[in-house]
Amino acid sequence: MNDNQLTYADAGVDVKEGARAVELMKRHVKETFNDQVIGDLGSFGGLLRLSGSFESPVLVAGTDGVGTKLKIAFLMDKHDTVGQDLVAMCVNDILCQGATPLFFLDYLATGHLEAEKAADIVKGITDGCKLSKMPLLGGETAEMPGFYQPGEYDMAGFAVGVVDEKRIVTGASIKPGDVIIGLASSGVHSNGYSLVRKLCFDKLKLTVESQVEALGGSLGEALLEPTRIYVQSVLKVLETVSVKGMVHMTGGGFFENIPRILPEGMTAKMTLGSWSMPPIFSWMQEQGDIKRDEMYGTFNMGLGFLMVVDSADVDAVMESLASSGEKAYRVGEIVPTGADGERVQLWEG
């Protein structure tokens, strides 16, 4: 070969490393397959057999990323949990309409592909898929030299679920007197990390290795705690109870997410102190001198998912969630919107 002849490797793309990464990923991916998957890995498109008894099946789709939480993974050089965050951000969204997840697709992009790191990332994705009982049906790993900083990557996910049209959860039937039940989060989940990093690394000058007594360990471990996936416990509730509305507590916190399911003239009155809040939130609020409404408008504050139910169904929902291992709390109620027009009230109980 002429020394002056260019190759793809000269341009920064290592095809052999890419092939090795795929081989390392295969074991994890195949662990997510179920009897609805048709064929094997390696096809240009993933095939899934739609099964189940539906009068009028409706597909529900969602896509998302992990955001700047990835920066924590880079700093810790720990990459086997952020994949679960990716899955959670997508499946918890489609769950809000009552959808059962069917399959997941992922996209991973990096400047220089490292097979072991890519396999760790995909392991986290497959962990999330297994918690959601759906296959990782396909994906793309893109090596893009010069596009990302060394050691960094980004990823996105796409989930598709199905629900019978008559069982779609919309929030339309929510009325005054309905009760709001909150499911515990595991911490910050995957939103608000730009503010988290500004506080922890810029203002407080901490590192991911810093031991924080209030958090019971290192800062990095607390910040990298994976987002909880609520699929199986919520679907179990939906088998027996007509849930009126559901909220995935993501970016925008209480003030942006809760109103998305409320009919006109309805307000969610949240009773502060009615649930157990992970210490990271009070620690951040105190250390950053952050106003209460800024906290509740940015973070989940310990509630990763909300369900609105008729008051007569509260006990049945709480019992079902407890049997699934969920920490659940009665956190508020629906009231008529007052003259101030507020759709979310934070009430000091």
The three state secondary structure string of 120-146 is: HHHHHHHHHHHHHCCCEEEEEEEECCC
Model confidence at 233, pLDDT cuts 50, 70, 90, reads very high
The CA distances from residue 7 to 63, 76, 347, in Å, are 35, 34, 65
- Asked if 65 and 137 sit in the same domain, the reply is yes
Strand partners, 143: 110
Range of the domain at 304: 179-348
Give the containing element (helix H, strand E) for 65: strand 57-65
CATH number of the domain at 150, please: 3.30.1330.10
Which tens digit of pLDDT belongs to each residue from 302-328? Answer: 999 999 999 999 999 999 999 999 999
116/36 same-domain check? yes
- Count of the separate structural domains present in the chain: 2
Which of 167, 194, 209 terminates a domain? The answer is 167
Instruction: Say if CB 287 and CB 204 are below 8 A apart.
Output: yes
Give the domain-ending residue among 132, 167, 202: 167
Neighbouring CB atoms inside 10 A of 279's CB total 16
User: Where does a domain end: 137, 167, 197?
Assistant: 167
DSSP string covering 145-161, please?
Answer: TTTS-TT-EEEEEEEEE
Residues of the chain with pLDDT > 70, as a percent, come to 99
Model confidence over 186-217: pLDDT tens digits? 999 999 999 999 999 999 999 999 999 999 99
Is residue 95 domain-shared with residue 225, that is, in the same domain?
no
CATH number for 292 = 3.90.650.10
* Domain assignment present for 174: no
Task: State phi, psi for 73 to the nearest 5 degrees.
Answer: -60, -40
Q: Provide mean pLDDT across the span 23-47.
A: 91
pLDDT in tens, 54-112: 899 999 999 999 999 999 999 999 999 999 999 999 999 999 999 999 999 999 999 99
Residues 153, 213 within the same domain: no
- Asked whether residue 97 falls in the same domain as residue 214, the answer is no
CB-count exposure of residue 9 (10 Å: 0-12, 13-18, 19+): exposed
Q: Is residue 173 part of a domain?
A: no
**CA-closest candidate to residue 190, choices 160, 218, 225, 159:** 225
Residue 1 inside a domain? The answer is: no
Does any domain span residue 101?
Answer: yes
Tokens found for residue 41: 């890995």
pLDDT per residue as tens digits for the range 329-348: 999 999 999 999 999 999 99
SS3 content of the chain, % helix, strand, coil (to 5): 35, 25, 40
pLDDT at 88: 98
Pair (190, 310) in one structural domain: yes
